[in-house]
């Protein structure tokens, strides 16, 4: 847990989602990419509804990365429009009651309506006692780490972690990542939560994001709970391992 981490309810997980595969899902159906992103928004809603019952206290979603500005402007604006739409729902509490939303990433390049939607949702849900939903919007983990190093008064792990926790409103600080799920069949992290996810368990799914549902999230959490997390140590079964064993 970083020095900026907030306590989670007993046993609550910090899970992250990299929702990949919207465009390929749409193309396979002869639909425009925008239709894939629209279908992907429904998958976000399903994940947010399902997360608390699965023991997830914090859910971070890679909504749009800084690298996504390389895509056609029309597609980027369409994704940002869907993010704003979702945040308006959150602010109006049309999502499950008690959700608290914060956003990480740059805001200086966002359209005014998206920035306003972020600020409104953060204000409206600040006291939410339930799921902490974090949306990564115009987010780059590498940029966040570089900015944290530059901002830290001394170059120690603790001060850099503290500066990283300031990437967003003060209420956005969270425990380190436990579980990262990426859909769409790609086997990579991307530029996402590289510091916080140093010891995260990784689950890669071939399922395209628009088809991701509560059962997929439950299966990933179940897989996480079957794994032994050693954090560089020997773990419960490793004390008696033979010298040189990788167990």
Q: What is the mean pLDDT of residues 17-29?
A: 98
Please compute Rg for the chain using Cα positions: 18
> What's the pLDDT at 164?
76
Domain extent listing, the chain = 13-226
**What's the pLDDT tens digit per position in 206-226?**
999 999 999 999 999 999 999
Domain 13-226 has what CATH class?
Answer: alpha beta
Q: What is the mean pLDDT of residues 130-159?
A: 90
The one catalytic residue in 10, 62, 67, 68 is: 68
Distances (CA, A) of 118 to 111, 121, 124, 144: 11, 5, 10, 19
Confidence band (pLDDT; 50, 70, 90) for 31?
Answer: very high
Positive or negative CA dihedral for 160, 204, 187, 230?
Answer: positive
> What's the pLDDT at 102?
95
* 229-237 contacts at long range (C-beta below 8 A, 24 or more positions apart): 229/199, 229/201, 231/199
> What's the pLDDT at 247?
37
> What's the pLDDT at 157?
81
Scanning the chain, the segments in alpha helix (DSSP H) are 22-28, 33-50, 73-91, 112-124, 141-151, 157-165, 214-226
**What's the pLDDT tens digit per position in 44-66?**
999 999 999 999 999 999 999 99
**Is pLDDT at 2 greater than 70 in this prediction?**
no
> What's the pLDDT at 152?
78
Beta-ladder partners of 139 = 65
pTM of the model: 0.88
Is residue 20 part of the annotated active site? The answer reads: yes
Structure tokens at 72: 């056609």
Query: Above pLDDT 90, what percent of the chain?
Result: 73
d(CA 191, CA 179): 16
The one catalytic residue in 20, 62, 167, 178 is: 20
């Amino acid at each position: 847990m970083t020095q900026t981490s907030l306590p989670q309810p007993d046993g609550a997980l910090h899970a992250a989602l990299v929702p990949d595969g919207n465009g390929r899902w749409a193309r396979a159906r002869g639909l425009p990419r925008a239709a894939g992103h629209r279908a992907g928004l429904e998958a976000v809603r399903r994940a947010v509804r399902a997360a608390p019952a699965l023991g997830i206290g914090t859910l971070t979603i890679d909504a749009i990365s800084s690298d996504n500005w390389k895509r056609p402007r029309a597609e980027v604006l369409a994704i940002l429009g869907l993010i704003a739409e979702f945040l308006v729902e959150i602010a109006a509490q049309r999502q499950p009651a008690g959700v608290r939303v914060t956003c990480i990433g740059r805001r200086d390049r966002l359209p005014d309506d998206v920035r306003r939607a972020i600020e409104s949702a953060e204000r409206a849900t600040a006291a939410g006692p339930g799921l902490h939903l974090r949306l990564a919007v115009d987010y780059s983990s590498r940029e966040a780490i570089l900015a944290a190093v530059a901002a830290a008064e001394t170059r120690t792990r603790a001060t850099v972690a503290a500066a990283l926790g300031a990437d967003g409103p003060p209420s956005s600080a969270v425990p380190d990542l436990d579980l990262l799920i990426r859909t769409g069949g790609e086997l990579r992290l991307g530029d996402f939560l590289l510091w916080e996810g140093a010891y995260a368990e990784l689950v890669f799914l071939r399922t395209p994001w628009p088809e991701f549902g509560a059962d997929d999230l439950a299966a990933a959490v179940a897989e996480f709970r079957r794994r032994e997390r050693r954090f560089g140590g020997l773990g419960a079964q490793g004390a008696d391992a033979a010298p040189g064993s990788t167990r």
